[in-house]
Every structure is written in C-alpha cells, then in structure tokens.
Structure 1
Amino acid sequence: MIISTIAFYLFAAMTIASAFMVIAAKNPVHSVLYLILAFFNSAALFVLLGAEFLAMILVVVYVGAVAVLFLFVVMMLDINFAELRQGFLQYLPIGGLVGIILLIELILVVSGWTLSPEALKLAAGAGPAVSNVTNTEQLGAIIYTDYAFLFQTAGMILLVAMIGAIVLTLRHRPGVRKQSVASQTGRRPEDSMAVRKVEPGQGV
C-alpha cells in the first residue's frame, strides 16, 4: 500500500511538471518531448488504477502516433519564432482578460460544487461485485453495443479533421513535378510511340 501511494505521488508530480514544461519550454521540440513524458506518466497512473487498457492505448496511440507526428511536423516546419514573438505584447491585454475570465469561471464552478447525500451513501456502501471479465472486454462490449453510433461518429469527425488539416496545409509550389492520373489514363498509343524507318547504316 505504501509503495503504490509513493508511486502515485511520484507519477502525479512528474505528470504535472511535464505538463508545465510543455508550455514553458522555449524550444517546440523540447515541448513535444515533455508531452511524451507526460503521456508516459499518465499511463503509469492508469496502471495504478487498474485500467491497463487505457494505459496501453495512451502509449500506443498518443505516444506512438500523435506525439511522434507532432515531433516530425515541428522539426520539418521552417517557422520563424522571432517573428511570431514580435506580436506577443500586442495581444497580451486580450489574452490576459480571457485568462482572468476563465479563472473566475473555474473558481465559481469549484466553489459551487457540492456532493449530494446519495453520492456519499453510495461511496460509504459496499462496491459492486468484481467479475472475471477483463477491462478490455468490458470496454469493447460497451463501445460496440451501447455507444457504437457515437464511436463511428467520432471516427468520422477525426476523418474530416484530418482531411481539413491536409487541405489547409497543402502548398502549391511552382516547378514541382506531379503525377497527372487523367493524362496518364487518357494517353493514346500514337502519342507515346512513333514508328520510324531507319535506313541501313543510319542511327535513330
């Protein structure tokens, strides 16, 4: 029990510190690396809670795909960060005002949050019986039965977002050779081949 408590506070502290360094680091590559560290520590917290499937998904999907993709994109983009920082003071009052409004809203939400007596009784009562079904099987049964439509809707939203990101970041550069499928499929044999009569002793 003591070891799990120490591990929880250790991973929680590392997660908070990594999340702070994501927004505090000046180098965007370092920010992505800190984000990967935060994902790993969050996965460790899920393991301590007994949700090993969520921990595996967090590592495989977010660390193995999303964070690595962010890292490659940040390293490949030629961004002038000095130019981006020039307009920081210009938007500082608006950003500060929005931050203060969000802080006031969070304080109002937290201060007005109370526990109902029914929730306290349920927390003090006996928990549900532990079944022999694994977490992965339970999640799969719920996602693909009760929430199948919402699961497919989330997939469609991600597909539309991916296509939108590709369209927004697509750059048409002059002088770049590209494949034209229409011209390839519409090409005729007489346009590609020429029959020449070569006399003896002459080259083509």
Structure 2
Amino acid sequence: MDVKTFFFYLFSLVMLFAAFRVITARNPVHAVLYLMLAFSQASGVWLLLQAEFLAIVLVLVYLGAVMVLFLFVVMMLDIHIDSVRQGFWRHFPLALVIGAVISLEMAAVLFGGFRVNEARPMPDTVAQVAGQVAQASNTKELGVLMFTQYLYPVEIAAVILLIAMVAAIALTLRERRKDNKAIDASLAVRVRSRDRVQLVKLAPTQAPVPVEAAPAAPAEEAKK
C-alpha cells in the first residue's frame, strides 16, 4: 500500500464516520461540526484525485461560509431537543423506506459507473492526449477557460453579485427604518467625556414608608 492509497482510505473512513455522526448526534451543534469534518475529508479526497479547484472551493465556500452560517443559526436558535424527538418512532418506518430507496438508487448508479469493460488497445494519438491531460493542471485549464471563452458570463455574474451585496447593505442601513440604530460618526468623534454620563436628580414618586419601632425586649432577656 502506497502513501496515496493510505490517505485515501484514511480520508474515506473519517468522512464515513463523520457522515454517520451527523445523523446520529443528539446535539445540533455537534451535528454541524461533524458535517464540517465530513466536508474537510471530502476535500482531501478530491485533492488525491487531482481536483484541486473543487477541493479549494469546498473549503472556502462550504467550510468558510455556508457551514459557519449554519453553525451560528443553530447556536442562536432556541431548539428544544425533547420536542424535536417527539414522534420519532411514528415516522421511523416511512423514513426507513425512503432511505432504502435512495440507497438502492445510489447503488445502481455507482455499480453501473464502475463496471470495467474488456481492455482494448489504446491508439497512440489517444494515449498522447491522455498523457497531456494527466500532466496538465485542471485549475490552470479551468482558469484559462473561464477568463477566455467564458469571460463575459463571469464578469456579468460578478457584477450581479456586487449589485446584490450593495443592495443588501443599503436595505440594512437605511435611516428611515424605525428599528435601525444608526450612529453618526461625526457626533461620536466630537463627543466629550462630561457628556457621556449625566446625573439627574428626580423627585420621589412615592412617600417613604415609616419604619415601625420594634417592641422593647423584656428585662430578663436584656440581662441575658
């Protein structure tokens, strides 16, 4: 067993364990963390398959943005685990049937794709092209393709994303909104220390309650 095969089995085992823990973890935060671990192991498998671009995109997009967003949402939500678990065994047969159907469909697709046909001699030209493709960097080829043949679609998508980002910021920071707590930066800079805290003397709204005098202690107890 070479080093590449060892890392493939290592990443695969850890990814399968993390995927199993995603659906069996009792705590939603732990489930999200296991899902992030599964994505990281999948990116390692893609690196072994020489798909560097997909591995980097998986780490940046899913681990760096989407999963962090999921984690913050799950942590901010007040999820009652006991109420979520109610009715689990009632829906378990239907979930088991759906899971079995999905597993059979995936198995049919995978076994159909991994069938090995009879080995046929490869022509010299095809062998040369295959050797050139194996030596080329898929990230470089993808970048050249995106910024040459698909340059205008990439620029249009970038402009649309920029407009969406600016519009989201503008809608969030509108001063007309009643629930917006906007602060003028010029006023914050010119603030003085004596203006930060101001003590105001207010008149009492209720009259003080008179304290009743305690009864006098007996003479014998006073002596003791």
Instruction: Give the 5 Å matches for 1:46-85.
Output: 46-85=46-85
- Deviation (angstroms), 1:92: 2.1
Q: What is the alpha-carbon distance in structure 2 between the residues aligned to residue 130 and residue 113 of structure 1?
A: 21
Structure 1: runs of 5 or more not aligned: 159-175, 180-204
1:13 paired to 2:13: yes
Q: What is the alpha-carbon distance in structure 1 between the residues aligned to residue 105 and residue 132 of structure 2?
A: 39
- Deviation (angstroms), 1:128: 3.7
Task: Please identify the structure whose Cα radius of gyration is greater.
Answer: 2
Q: What is the percentage of aligned positions where both structures have the same residue? A: 44
Instruction: Give the 5 Å matches for 1:1-204.
Output: 2-106=2-106, 108-109=108-109, 115=115, 117=117, 126=127, 127-130=130-133, 134-143=137-146, 177-179=178-180
- Deviation (angstroms), 1:137: 2.6
Partner of residue 188, structure 2: none
Alignment CA distance shift 1:100-1:37 (3 Å):
closer
- Deviation (angstroms), 1:83: 0.8
Alignment CA distance shift 1:117-1:6 (3 Å):
closer
Partner of residue 206, structure 2: none
- Deviation (angstroms), 1:10: 1.0
- Deviation (angstroms), 1:79: 1.4
SS of alignment partner, residue 89 of structure 1: helix
- Deviation (angstroms), 1:131: 7.7
Structure 2: runs of 5 or more not aligned: 162-176, 181-224
Partner of residue 202, structure 1: none
One-letter identity of the residue aligned with 2:75: M
Q: What is the alpha-carbon distance in structure 2 between the residues aligned to residue 57 and residue 177 of structure 1?
A: 39
Q: CA RMSD in A?
A: 4.3
Alignment CA distance shift 1:149-1:101 (3 Å):
farther
How many residues of Structure 1 are paired with residues of Structure 2 in the alignment?
A: 167
Q: What is the alpha-carbon distance in structure 1 between the residues aligned to residue 40 and residue 28 of structure 2?
A: 19
Q: What is the alpha-carbon distance in structure 2 between the residues aligned to residue 131 and residue 10 of structure 1?
A: 24
Structure 2-normalised TM-score? 0.56
Structure 1-normalised TM-score? 0.61
Alignment CA distance shift 1:45-1:99 (3 Å):
closer
Query: C-alpha deviations, 1:18-63, integer Å up to 9, x for none?
Result: 1111111111111111111112212222222222222221111111
